[in-house]
Chain A
Amino acid sequence: MKRLLGVALGILTAIGGFVDIGDLVTNAVVGSRFGLSLVWVVVVGVVGICLFAEMSGRVAAVSGRATFEIIRERLGPRMAGANLVASFAINLLTLTAEVGGIALALHLASSVEPRLWIVVAAAAVWLVLWRVKFSIMENVAGLLGLLLVGFGVALFLLGPDWGDLLAQAASIGQPPGGQSMGSYWFYAVALFGAAMTPYEVFFFSSGAVEEKWTAKDLSQNRLNVLTGFPLGGLLSVAIAACAAVVLMPQSIEVSSLSQIVLPVAQAGGTLLLAVVILGIVAATFGAALETALSSGYTVAQYLGWSWGKFRRPAKAARFHLTMIVALLIAVGILMTSVDPIAVTEMSVVFSAVALPLTYVPILVVANDPEYMGEHVSGKVANALGSVYLVIVLVAALAAIPLMIATGAGSA
């Protein structure tokens, strides 16, 4: 019974922890502009993150080493150092977006100036990182993030024409009238980046070490990933569908968090609105914790410092200091009055650019019998892994040219 509860909890937290500010914003923007014509990218992204997270969890459980320790070991200090700089920068951008997301959600609920909330949000993130146990932190944030299921409830209450939504979803590669093909592909890359953010893998693999997974935990790892992430992906689709049903017919283009919740208010009134805003706070807070931890994990693992929430802060001082510095930089960036939504849009695109840096080493190590013994990737995982290698490389190479050519999707 205890094991069953553990499995259920793992799945629920994987669902609730799937959506972050990048998913929220990108899906709503895409839904309001392209309807469901890009929903196929969410499917591609979810399969990709399942594959990627399963591999990194398996590698961590079997070898007892987290992603960046392996990257350094496989690529050598110089190449891994370059990888670290790029990965840390993208992670920092994502952390900035998540802290900004918490502040925006609290601003939405209170109408109090978001810059006041930025400091409160960052302080709360630091306090939780400093004081709260890893498992409690992960489970509470993940479970509260489940409140985003309110988008799914809203979609049903709106009573859309399901046939029309299915027709939109089937129109792959055909943007609706008035939208350019360049912007369509730019947002395809952004959605892919939002679903497959590198920090999720740093967090997932380091979390496996934090929770002392072994080869015996592999089946639970697979179950969490293969059930939780696809259900989390459905939340992303629900966000896009709500925007497609309410905002797109009125030519409302999403540029702020306050617009994302309008369909929820229309469908379920103030109660459902309150549930969803709480869900947004929880989802962004959980993702801020994960990205802040990922900052510490990547640097500490590369430099060989002691790391982990399972150690007291005094025993992993440089790991904790890295997280504090990352949080302070994020606050500094947000205090310049930069629009957190714009930071989010940049972070998902650059996540796609940086993805091969972590994907390729994990793919290689998951196939290495020296590390993995009998747990090397099977034929199906390898075939899928190779297909995704091509997708990840194409998305990474196309992201910046598409961003320049379309003015970040504004053309």
Chain B
Amino acid sequence: MRPSRDEHPVALALLRRGSLRLRALVLMIVVLATASCATATSSSSAQESITSGLEEARSAVATAALVVTLLEDDRMTAPVADTGLLDQIGVLEDSSAALMTLVPPAEMATPLQQGMTAVGTATDAVVAARLWVNGESGASAAELLEALEGAESEIDDVLAEVGA
């Protein structure tokens, strides 16, 4: 028959001590997790977040440029191009949301503002490309590619300023 806990005071004490330690550990984890969720962001983590958001945006613009080139060369169908651009608009939306919700230290405020402007320019260029794919724009492929290239270099400039 299995002995009950009451018959083993030493075991019970150990269990209680273990239980106290466990509670302390859980409390520490909760405190640390809560502290890490604080709103203000350190300079290095703000730099990381801005860089990551801008790199996503640059990837979206490069993808859009490739899609426009392929469609212009008749190497892709319009539905595939439309889906491709729609996906990239989603990426830019996420990238924009990531930047907009950042609370950086004062020295990072200007790059963040420039980053948000660059992502806005990129979004405009990709949206224009999607209108063109759907035959709702008078712009030529060359003009769209120029706009996308401009958006990409704007992002690159901010990335260089942030130090990526």
Contact = CB atoms under 8 A, between A and B. Distances in A.
Interface in B74-100: 74-80, 82-84, 86-88, 90-91
A320 to B, nearest CB: 34
A250 interface: yes
A266 B75 contact: yes
Given A108-B80, A108-B83, A273-B80, A259 B74 contact: no
A262 B67 contact: yes
Interface in A369-411: 410
Contacts of B80: 108-109, 111, 258, 261, 265, 273, 277
A110 interface: yes
Nearest to A410: B52
A306 interface: no
A31 to B, nearest CB: 14
A256 interface: yes
A128 B90 CA distance: 34
Contacts of A256: 84, 87-88, 90-91
Interface string A253-272: 10111110110011001100
B83 A111 contact: yes
B157 interface: no
A362 to B, nearest CB: 34
B44 interface: no
Contacts of B56: 253, 255
A80 B151 CA distance: 56
Interface in A235-265: 246, 250-253, 255-259, 261-262, 265
B96 to A, nearest CB: 15
Contact of A251 (B62, B79, B87): B62
A255 B91 contact: yes
Nearest to B58: A251
Contacts of A111: 78-80, 82-83, 86
A115 interface: no
Interface residues of B, number: 25
Given A108-B83, A258-B84, A265 B76 contact: yes
Q: Which of B52, B55, B74, B83 has the most CB of A within 10 A?
A: B83
B63 interface: yes
B59 interface: yes
Given A107-B83, A253-B56, A259-B84, A270 B66 contact: no
Nearest to B66: A262
Interface string A96-108: 0000000000011
Contact of A259 (B55, B77, B82, B87): B87
B11 interface: no
A257 B63 CA distance: 12
A259 B61 CA distance: 12
B81 to A, nearest CB: 9
Given A252-B62, A262-B66, A269 B74 contact: yes
Nearest to A114: B83
B70 interface: yes
A32 B124 CA distance: 25
A246 B55 CA distance: 17
Contact of B77 (A250, A251, A262, A270): A270
B87 A273 contact: no
A277 B70 CA distance: 16
Nearest to B77: A270
A266 B70 contact: yes
B85 to A, nearest CB: 8
A255 B76 contact: no
Given A251-B55, A265-B70, A265-B80, A259 B75 contact: no
A251 B58 CA distance: 8
Nearest to A272: B75
A3 to B, nearest CB: 42
B83 A273 contact: no
Given A265-B75, A273-B77, A258 B70 contact: no
A158 to B, nearest CB: 12
Given A111-B82, A265-B76, A269-B75, A255 B67 contact: no
A21 to B, nearest CB: 16
Nearest to B65: A250
Given A252-B59, A253-B56, A410-B52, A258 B87 contact: yes
Given A252-B59, A252-B66, A258 B74 contact: no
Contacts of A110: 79
A252 B62 CA distance: 6
Contacts of B63: 252, 259, 262
A273 B70 CA distance: 11
Interface in B32-57: 52, 55-56
Q: Kindly list the 10 A-B residue pairs having the minimum CB-CB distance in the complex, ordered from nearest.
A: A111-B79, A256-B87, A258-B84, A269-B75, A253-B59, A265-B76, A111-B82, A250-B62, A108-B83, A258-B87
15 contacts: A251-B55, A259-B84, A261-B80, A262-B63, A265-B70, A265-B75, A265-B80, A266-B66, A269-B75, A269-B76, A270-B74, A270-B77, A273-B76, A277-B80, A410-B52
Interface of B: 52, 55-56, 58-59, 62-63, 66-67, 70, 74-80, 82-84, 86-88, 90-91
Given A246-B66, A253-B59, 4 more contacts: A255-B59, A255-B91, A258-B80, A274-B77
